[in-house]
Amino acid sequence: MGETAIRLRGVVKRYGPITAVDGLDLDVPVGTCVGLLGPNGAGKSTTMRLLTAQAIPDEGELEVLGFRLPEESKQARALLGVTPQLDNLDVTLTVEQNLLVFAFLYRLGRHERRDAVERSLEMAKLVDRRDTRVDKLSGGMRRRLLIARSLVHRPRLVLLDEPTVGLDPQVRQELWALVDALRSEGTTILMSTHYIEEAQRLADTVMIMSHGKAVAAGRPAELVTEHAGQQVLEVYGAPPRLAEVEAEAGAAGLKTRRTGTSVSILGVDGSNGLGIDGERRAANLEDVFVLLTGEEIG
Amino acid sequence: MAVANARGRRLGRLERPALTGVLVREVVNFSSYWRSATFSSTVEPTIYLLAFGFGFGSLVSTIGGYEYVEFVGTGTVATAVLFSSAFPAMFGTFVKYHFQRTYDAILAAPVDTEELVTAEALWIATRAGVYGCAPLIVAMVFGLDPAWGMLTVPLIAWLAGFGWACFGVAVAGFAKSIENFSYIVSAVLTPLFLVAGTFFPLDQLPEWAQFLANFNPLYHCVELVRHAAFGWSGWADVFHAGALVVFGLLMWRIAIHAMVRKLVD
């Protein structure tokens, strides 16, 4: 096994009566992309804030790139890139000025700055927009700039907090390509998301969070097989019919979950699905998530 | 720890690269709003200077041996410092924290809250050092004689500006909403601004009020600037400068405390 970029042990963070992070263990091996998956309020963003020492844990140990937090967090932050969930670009500055400011904040030398800004402009595909003020950019461009800004110092580890939240599907695809490129360069990534597809597409391993706790962790495909089986039978019908189906499946020892207009019967691999009519589909992380937490997501 | 030692650098508390980073951000941003900042920081004290200088000056020709325009022209330096430091610090800090979330981005970089607050105050103090000279220059047009001592005015303005910048950051740090600022402006800034010896000499006031004036940083700024323009007065000026240093240091620590509370959960 290689080095560990992030190591959390028994981390607890409380805000008054609310326990945002509740005894969390997390390992992010160097060179991998780990996805934190969970609904809003699961503790993903608090975990991200703990990793930059913008939140101090009440209990537990945190280590980022070998530095103990919060004591040595400044050293860790120098090697860390952070893409926040909420856009905090300087909107009255140009694209290039935004990148230049961060080249200074991340302490790049006089001779490195120019190259770093150029590289980031290319990565964000904003070379021809370098002199455009940020408030004149589209949402997708702003988000690309936000990510590129966090990479200006070639960080060894990148924290992406909900990188595509609130963006339309086509822009999301673009950003996934950007994150994928970063991954293939060997950068370690910790990404939080509440989009199942995003976690499934980008993450080597996923940790499912609910109420500040990790409820499952592993490779997306393995998590699906382990908890939801290969195939799911989706049965549509009126509420009384759905209740019947649930009872039948339950009697046969199969797990079910209810969505708005249907019941999903999990783990119907190979079997005849109890002779119930429905549509077969491949099981996915969402099934696992709902099964494990009882919560809807996304 | 092992890795830190291997790399041979344990990062200090107030590091120059961190301060530089925050300052560069401010300077680059300033290029996009310098017109409005310069306007509000210089025009307002100039209006006070002209209104009082001519309005009041037509009733009183001299005060304490000075032409009234000279008296007010030197006094409003402190007003300019206040307007160009406390107010931008209060509003700027609040906006950057609440609305633009700039501080989230800066604190994710290798910059600590202490460095962030210090750099912001240094920047505002520098602006106050420059803007503080505006009333003096306007007063010169209306007959204030230049003096060598005036070359220290940017320095005095800088020192007072640092304290007021930290005061503004602290207020923004403690304030729950931007509306809370009205309490500070009405209950703290306006009285201090009026009873600083800017528009009328304090030796007309009852003794207890004169004593209280010693706790008004604006008063010390007014006195120092006047002495810089009309002649130093020895230990009294050392006392005034010392008071501004104490004010600056005290506010600096309070501002850091307030912002750590606010920015780090």
Q: What pLDDT is attached to residue B228?
A: 93
**Amino acid symbol at A160:** L
Average pLDDT of chain B is: 89
Of the candidate ranges A46-55, A70-79, B7-16, B253-262, the one whose mean pLDDT is the lowest: B7-16
Closest CA to A24 of A48, A5, A52: A48
* Interface contact flag, A106 B21, Cβ < 8 Å: yes
Interval B168-196 mean pLDDT: 91
Closest CA to A117 of A90, A80, A147, A148: A148
CA A218 to chain CA centroid, Å, is 14
Q: State which H helix or E strand residue B17 sits in.
A: helix B16-50
Residue B4 lies in a domain: no
Q: What pLDDT is attached to residue B1?
A: 35
Interval B216-224 mean pLDDT: 95
**Amino acid symbol at A166:** G
The pLDDT confidence band at residue A257, using thresholds 50, 70 and 90, is confident
Closest CA to A201 of A183, A185, A216: A183
Q: What pLDDT is attached to residue B8?
A: 45
Å between A81 CA and nearest CA of chain B:
8
Residue ranges of domains in chain A, CATH in brackets: 4-219 (3.40.50.300), 230-282 (3.30.70)
For A136-180, the DSSP string reads GS-HHHHHHHHHHHTTTT--SEEEEESTTTT--HHHHHHHHHHHH
The pLDDT confidence band at residue B56, using thresholds 50, 70 and 90, is confident
Would you say residue A243 has pLDDT above 60? Answer: yes
Of the candidates A52, A75, A93, which has its C-beta nearest B32's C-beta?
Answer: A93
Average pLDDT of chain A is: 89
Residue B82 lies in a domain: yes
Q: What pLDDT is attached to residue B55?
A: 82
Percentage of residues in chain B having pLDDT higher than 90: 62
Would you say residue B12 has pLDDT above 80? Answer: no
CA B155 to chain CA centroid, Å, is 11
Q: What pLDDT is attached to residue A295?
A: 65
Residue B5 lies in a domain: no
- Torsion sign (Cα): A232, A234, A239, A242: negative
The pLDDT confidence band at residue A1, using thresholds 50, 70 and 90, is very low
Q: What pLDDT is attached to residue A258?
A: 81
Distance CA B152, CA B169 (A): 26
Would you say residue A228 has pLDDT above 90? Answer: no
Q: What value of ipTM does the predicted structure carry?
A: 0.87
Pull the structure tokens for residue B184: 């500070």
Q: What pLDDT is attached to residue A54?
A: 93
Question: Could you list the residue range(s) of the whole structural domain that residue B247 is in?
Answer: 13-263
Percentage of residues in chain B having pLDDT higher than 70: 96
Of the candidate ranges A157-161, B4-8, B236-240, the one whose mean pLDDT is the lowest: B4-8
Q: State which H helix or E strand residue A119 sits in.
A: helix A110-123
Distance CA B33, CA A119 (A): 28
* Interface contact flag, B101 A65, Cβ < 8 Å: no
Closest CA to A199 of A79, A11, A44, A59: A44
Would you say residue B224 has pLDDT above 60? Answer: yes
**Amino acid symbol at B120:** E
CA B119 to chain CA centroid, Å, is 14
Q: State which H helix or E strand residue B45 sits in.
A: helix B16-50
Residue B104 lies in a domain: yes
* Interface contact flag, A93 B17, Cβ < 8 Å: no
| B122-138 confidence digits (pLDDT tens) | 999 999 999 999 999 98
Distance CA A157, CA A135 (A): 29
Interval A105-119 mean pLDDT: 94
Pull the structure tokens for residue A140: 């997708």
Percentage of residues in chain A having pLDDT higher than 70: 96
Residue B1 lies in a domain: no
Interval A205-210 mean pLDDT: 92
* Interface contact flag, B109 A56, Cβ < 8 Å: no
| Order of strands, sheet of A279-282, starting from the edge strand that comes earlier in the sequence | A256-258, A262-266, A231-236, A279-282
Q: What pLDDT is attached to residue B4?
A: 39
Angle, helix B217-230 to helix B153-174, in steps of 10 degrees: 170
Residue B169 lies in a domain: yes
* Interface contact flag, B33 A92, Cβ < 8 Å: yes
Report the domain count for chain B.
Answer: 1
Of the candidates A13, A52, A68, which has its C-beta nearest B1's C-beta?
Answer: A68
Task: Sort out which chain B residues have CB atoms less than 8 A from A75's CB and list them.
Answer: 3-4, 7, 9, 11, 110
Residue B8 lies in a domain: no
Task: For an interface test with A, give the residue of B19, B32, B102 to mutate (most A CBs within 10 A).
Answer: B32
The vertex-A131 CA angle with A126 and A133, nearest 5°, equals 90
| Residues counted in chain B | 265
Residue B127 lies in a domain: yes
Backbone angles phi, psi at B23, to 5 degrees: -65, -40
